[in-house]
Amino acid sequence: MPAKKFDRAYGANMSSLSGLEITCEDDEGNLTAKLVSLELAKFEDGTKVTKAVYERDTVTVLGHLIFEEFTDDVDAGSREAIHTTKVPAEPRVCKGQAFVNNKVKNVIVFRLKANS
């Protein structure tokens, strides 16, 4: 049976990438779920939002999220190489886009392991 998914919408006026990171961490804890994607979306009335999708996870001890802005795929690849070669590795959670201060940002998210 597929894991239960939850969608959350965050306003385009989110003040900072750090604010989005904290909000997503809070939602992971409140939903007992892990973040799996970020993307741009609109409500039917045209309101722009960042859509976050979470997947139920009652087993994994989740660590803190690390949100970073990237410029292009080469930059994202470099950031991924840095995080995944650390000991312990900080695996990629997702790569997508989000609104921050009503501007589109390319975002890559990693997870700091809970035992680090």
Alpha-helix runs per DSSP H in the chain: 17-31, 73-84
- How confident is the model over 58-113, as pLDDT tens digits? 887 788 999 999 999 999 999 999 999 988 899 999 999 999 999 999 999 999 97
> Rounded distance, CA 68 to CA 105, Å?
10
Look at residue 2 and tell me whether its pLDDT is greater than 80: no
Q: Is the per-residue pLDDT at 116 higher than 60?
A: no
- State how far Cα 103 lies from the chain centre: 16
Order across the sheet with 48-56: list the strands.
Answer: 5-11, 48-56, 33-42
Alpha helical stretches, state H, 32-94:
73-84
User: How confident is the model at residue 114, as a pLDDT?
Assistant: 66
Q: Over the stretch 22-49, which tens digit does the pLDDT of each residue have?
A: 999 999 999 999 999 999 999 999 999 9
Residue 28: C-alpha distances to residues 47, 85, 91 (Å): 24, 25, 17
d(CA 105, CA 102): 9
Give residue-wise pLDDT tens across range 49-62: 999 999 999 887 78
Segments making up each domain of the chain, as ranges? 5-111
